[in-house]
Amino acid sequence: MLRCDPGTLIADIDGGWKSLYFAGYGVGFNECAIPLSPGLHRIEVCFSFSATGDTLVGGNRIASGISCMASRKLEVDAQPGRTYRIKFDLSPDWKAFVDDVTEAEAGLSYEPPPEKPKPRGSKKERETILVMRATPENAALAVVRGVIRGKWFDMQMFGALKVFNFSRKGVPDGYHLFRAYGGDTVAFIAGQMMDGSVLEMHGFTACGDFRLRVHEDLPAGKVLYLGHLTVRKAPVGYVASFSDDDFAEARAYIDAHHPELAGRLEVAPYREARIPIVCNGASYDLYPSPAPPGS
C-alpha cells in the first residue's frame, strides 16, 4: 500500500499510470491509498501547495497546479503486507523519498468515522466549556472541530469554536474560554500574536511534526482544561509546547473569576495527531519546541 504526505503530486507510477493523483493540503487533504503489487515500482512525484497556481521551493518552480515542472524519480521494492509513504524535505534542494511506515502506522484507521446519532437534549444541556491557557497573554487561539483519520487531524473548514473572552488588548492572564458541545472532537491548530491593541496580521499555524492535542468525543456539560500552551518567536516561524503542570493554578483562576464554573474544571484527555500541513520555512510555521535546526 502506498500512502501520501500532504502536497504529494504523483505524476506517474511504472510508466503506465494514466491518472495524476494530487493529495491536497490542509483542509483539502485527501490521503491516498494506492495498492502496490509485490516487486519494484518506479514513481515520479513532485510537491504542490494547491491545485491552482505555482509552487516554489528554494525560489524554483516545481509545480504549476497539478502539473510537475520538476520532479523526483523514486523506487520502492514493495513487499507483501507492507505500507509505504511518500514524504518530502522542502529544503531549497528539495527531496522526496519513500518510507516504510508499516510499524509506525500499525493499527491506524484511515476510514471515515461512523456517523454519530443525532444528539439528545438542548444546546444548553449539551454545552461544554473549554479552557486553554496561553503564554504570552497577548495571543488569539484557534480551536477547531474535526476528526482523526489515521495519523492526521482532519479539520472542518468552518469548525472554529466560539471564544468567550477574546480581546485585542490580550486575554486576562492568558485563559481562553471556548464553547463546544458534547460529541465534538477538537484541537488547537493556530493563533495570532497581538502587540498592544493591534493584532499582527502574521500568525502561527501548526505544521509538520507539531503534535496536536486532539480531544475526542467531548462529554456534554463539562468544564475541561486543554492545557497551557507556551509560544515564542523563533528565527524562522514560532515554536510552542504544551504542559498541564499548572492545573491547580488554572482551577483556582476559573473558580475566582468565573463563579458560574467554580469547582468544575477537569483535565481533558487527549491523543496526539498531526495536521496535514507541511512546514516550508514560512514566518507563520509553528514548530514543536525546541526549534528545529536552522530555525
Q: Which of 41, 39, 54 is nearest to 9 (CA)?
A: 54
Q: Length of the chain, please?
A: 295
Q: Give per-residue pLDDT as tens, 274-289.
A: 999 988 777 888 888 7
pLDDT of residue 147: 92
Confirm whether pTM is higher than 0.75: yes
Q: Give per-residue pLDDT as tens, 91-110.
A: 888 999 999 999 999 988 88
Q: Secondary structure of 66-87 in the HEC alphabet?
A: CEECCCEEEEEEECCCCCEEEE
* Residues of the chain under the 50 pLDDT cut: 292-295
The span from the CA of 236 to the CA of 177, in Å, is: 29
Q: Give per-residue pLDDT as tens, 38-81.
A: 999 999 999 998 888 999 988 899 999 999 999 999 999 999 99
pLDDT of residue 98: 96
The span from the CA of 131 to the CA of 20, in Å, is: 44
The span from the CA of 191 to the CA of 237, in Å, is: 12
The span from the CA of 10 to the CA of 68, in Å, is: 9
> What is the DSSP code string of the chain?
-EEE-TTEEEEEETTT--S-EE---GGG-----B---SEEEEEEEEE-S-SSSEEEETTEEEEETTEESS-EEEEEEE-TT--EEEEEE-SSS-EEEEEE-TTTTTT---SPPPPPPPP-S-HHHHEEEEEEEEESSSEEEEEEEEEEETTEEEEEEEEEPEESS--TT--GGGEEEEEEETT--EEEEEEEEEETTEEEEEEEEE-TT--EEEE-SPPTT-EEEEEEEEEEE-SSSEEEEEE-TTHHHHHHHHHHH-GGGTT-EEEPP-EEEB-S----S-TTEEEESSPPTT-
Strands 223-233 and 127-135: parallel
pLDDT of residue 278: 87
Residue with cell 495571543: 139
pLDDT of residue 117: 75
pLDDT of residue 85: 96
Residue with cell 483535565: 267
